[in-house]
Amino acid sequence: MVLAQLGGSITRALQQMSNATVIDEEVLNDCLIEISRALLQSDVQFNLVQDMQTNINNIVNLEDLAAGHDKSKIIEEAVFNELCKMLDPGKSSFVPEKGKTSVVMFVGLQGSGKTTTCTKYAHYYQKKGWKPALVCADTFRAGAFDQLMQNATNAEIPFYGSYMESDPVKIAVEGVERFTEENRDLIIVDTSGRHKQEAALFEEMRQVFEATKPDLVIFVIDSSIGQAAFDQAQAFKQSVAVGAVTITKMDGHVKGGGSLSAVAATKSPVIFIGTGEHMDEFEVFEVKPFVSRLLG
């Protein structure tokens, strides 16, 4: 079930509930079953769905609600709040400060959209008058430097990388040093990905992290990842101090719900979403407006 359908299914379940002549336990249960089914079909992790159901049942105590209470409104609010909670780790991420050098490292699997997202992120801040710079510490994928160079050139953002050097740590350190000297206020380090989670990738990530001491690590996840999202995100979090998440390809006709579990797995907020291949197809992510939009 794609995200737009998910929103429609939840809204329909709520409508059906509020149309009932009497809202009793059975009606509430049917409604929650429908919502849970829709979430599971969208690849939201089972535990999260179960927690949501339990929490709503705890919050909405129909017996205790005196007559005259708008039960359907209370249930709708509880569902809205629980969906927001699912996407809100309860803490914000590091926020870079304009004019002060910050280092932001991007991590994620190959193909997740990491390199594209690095440029989008740089471009987003550049439009606001910042002085970003890009460092290509991906020496694993042939063509990674060319891709970053092309993106950076299109966006008119300074970049650093090497065709010759094979040590990503060395490149990352040199790039960060150079751009720090040049007083760039947002130094973005793109790291290697792999097709799957493997020890070598995590070791390399750890080394780049140790050497550059980034202020923020952003984990990039493809929205089409499905149920594997939770484990993948958790594996990255266990290797480096992930502080924020960016979900890519939210424009595609994908289920998308799996990637939302990355919040629970990393205990970090989603800060941006990618909505297309173009540099400007990049949005700040805010939980409440997202859930409102989802539910139409």
Interface positions with ligand GDP (CB under 6 A)? 108, 110-116, 193, 248-249, 251-252, 274-277
Q: Which single residue is written with the structure tokens 């990491």?
A: 114
Is 112 exposed, middle or buried, given 0-12, 13-18 or 19+ CB atoms closer than 10 A? buried
CB of residue 23 to ligand GDP, shortest distance in Å: 40
Q: 38 vs 208, which CB is nearer to ligand GDP?
A: 208
CB of residue 148 to ligand GDP, shortest distance in Å: 9
Is 261 exposed, middle or buried, given 0-12, 13-18 or 19+ CB atoms closer than 10 A? buried
Residue sitting closest to ligand GDP (CB): 274
Q: In what order do the strands lie in the sheet with 159-160?
A: 159-160, 132-137, 186-191, 102-107, 216-222, 244-248, 270-274, 282-284
CB of residue 2 to ligand GDP, shortest distance in Å: 14
Q: Look up residue 265 and give its amino acid.
A: A
Q: 14 vs 106, which CB is nearer to ligand GDP?
A: 106
Q: 248 vs 261, which CB is nearer to ligand GDP?
A: 248
Q: 56 vs 187, which CB is nearer to ligand GDP?
A: 187
Q: 101 vs 117, which CB is nearer to ligand GDP?
A: 117
Q: 9 vs 119, which CB is nearer to ligand GDP?
A: 119
CB of residue 116 to ligand GDP, shortest distance in Å: 3
CB of residue 250 to ligand GDP, shortest distance in Å: 6
CA nearest to 71, candidates 81, 62, 59, 58: 62
CB of residue 117 to ligand GDP, shortest distance in Å: 6
Degrees to nearest 5, angle at CA 114 with 156 and 42: 135
Q: Which single residue is written with the structure tokens 């979900």?
A: 247
Q: 114 vs 184, which CB is nearer to ligand GDP?
A: 114
CB of residue 223 to ligand GDP, shortest distance in Å: 8
